[in-house]
Chains A and B, each alone.
Chain A
Amino acid sequence: MAEVFFYLLAALAIGGGVGMVTRKNPVGSLLFLVLTLASLAGIFVLLDAHFLAAIQVVVYAGAIMVLFLFVIMLLNLGHDYQPDIRGGLWMVMGFALSGLLGGILAQRFGGGGELTGALLPVAGGPGAVRALVEEHNAVGAIAGPMFRDYLVPFEVTSVLLLVAIVGAIVLAKRRI
Chain B
Amino acid sequence: MEKVAGTAFLIASSAKVVATFTLVLLSVAYITLLERRLAAFMQDRRGPNRVGPFGLLQPIADGLKNLLKEETSPAAASRFYFFLGPMLSLMPATVIFAVVPFAAPLPTPWGVVDMIVADLPVGILFVLALSSLAVYGIVLGGWASNNKYAFLGALRSSAQMVSYEVALGLSLVAVLMLAGNVTLTEMVWRQQQLDWWFAFPLALAFLLFVISAFAENNRLPFDLPEAESELITGYHTEYSAMKFSMFFIAEYAHLLTNSALMATLFLGGWDIPFWRGDDMFWVGGALVSGFDATGAPLLAEPAWWKTALTLAAFAAKTSFFVFLYIWVRWTLPRFRYDQVMHLGWKVMIPTALAYIMLIGGTILVLDALRTPYGFTYGLVLTAVSLVATGLFVFVLDRDRIIGGADLTRRRSGTEYQRAEMIVASDL
Question: What residues make up the interface of A, taking CB atoms closer than 8 Å to B?
Answer: 25, 27, 31, 34, 41, 50-51, 53-55, 57-58, 61-63, 66-67, 69-70, 73-74, 133, 137-139
A residues in contact with B139, CB < 8 Å: 66, 69-70, 73
Q: Would you call B135 and A66 a contact (CB within 8 A)? A: yes
Q: Would you call B158 and A58 a contact (CB within 8 A)? A: no
A residues in contact with B158, CB < 8 Å: 66, 69-70
B residues in contact with A137, CB < 8 Å: 121, 181-183
A-B contact list, 18 entries, CB within 8 Å:
A27-B140, A34-B136, A54-B129, A57-B130, A61-B132, A62-B133, A66-B132, A66-B135, A70-B155, A70-B158, A73-B143, A133-B121, A137-B121, A137-B181, A138-B182, A138-B183, A139-B122, A139-B125
B358 at the binding interface (Cβ < 8 Å): no
Contact A54 to B126, CB < 8 A, known contacts A66-B162, A73-B143:
yes
A residues in contact with B133, CB < 8 Å: 57, 61-62
B396 at the binding interface (Cβ < 8 Å): no
B residues in contact with A63, CB < 8 Å: 132, 162, 165
B 146-183 binary contact with A (CB < 8 Å = 1; else 0)? 00000100110011011001000000000000000111
Q: Would you call B81 and A62 a contact (CB within 8 A)? A: no
CB distance from A80 to the nearest CB of B (A): 14
Q: Would you call B155 and A54 a contact (CB within 8 A)? A: no
Q: Would you call B121 and A138 a contact (CB within 8 A)? A: yes
Q: How many residues of B contact A (CB 8 A)?
A: 29
Q: Which 10 A-B pairs have the closest CB atoms?
A: A62-B132, A54-B125, A57-B129, A138-B121, A54-B122, A50-B122, A58-B129, A50-B121, A54-B129, A138-B122
CB distance from B356 to the nearest CB of A (A): 15
Q: Would you call B122 and A69 a contact (CB within 8 A)? A: no
B 91-125 binary contact with A (CB < 8 Å = 1; else 0)? 00000000000000000000000000000111001
Known: A57-B132, A62-B135. 12 other contacts (CB 8 A): A57-B129, A58-B129, A61-B129, A62-B129, A63-B165, A66-B158, A66-B162, A70-B155, A70-B162, A138-B121, A138-B183, A139-B182
B61 at the binding interface (Cβ < 8 Å): no
B128 at the binding interface (Cβ < 8 Å): yes
Q: Would you call A139 and B162 a contact (CB within 8 A)? A: no
Q: Would you call B122 and A53 a contact (CB within 8 A)? A: yes
Q: How far apart are the CA atoms of A50 and B119 in the complex, in Å?
A: 12
Q: How far apart are the CA atoms of A73 and B132 in the complex, in Å?
A: 18
Which of A25, A34, A55, A137 has the largest number of chain B CB atoms within 10 A? A137
B residues in contact with A41, CB < 8 Å: 129
Q: How far apart are the CA atoms of A57 and B133 in the complex, in Å?
A: 8
Q: Would you call A58 and B162 a contact (CB within 8 A)? A: no
Q: How far apart are the CA atoms of A139 and B125 in the complex, in Å?
A: 10
Contact A73 to B182, CB < 8 A, known contacts A57-B129, A58-B125, A62-B129:
no
Closest to B148 in A: A77
Q: How far apart are the CA atoms of A102 and B287 in the complex, in Å?
A: 51
CB distance from B348 to the nearest CB of A (A): 17
Closest to A67 in B: B162
CB distance from B147 to the nearest CB of A (A): 12
Q: Would you call A74 and B155 a contact (CB within 8 A)? A: yes
Closest to B166 in A: A63
B residues in contact with A74, CB < 8 Å: 155
B residues in contact with A62, CB < 8 Å: 128-129, 132-133, 135, 165
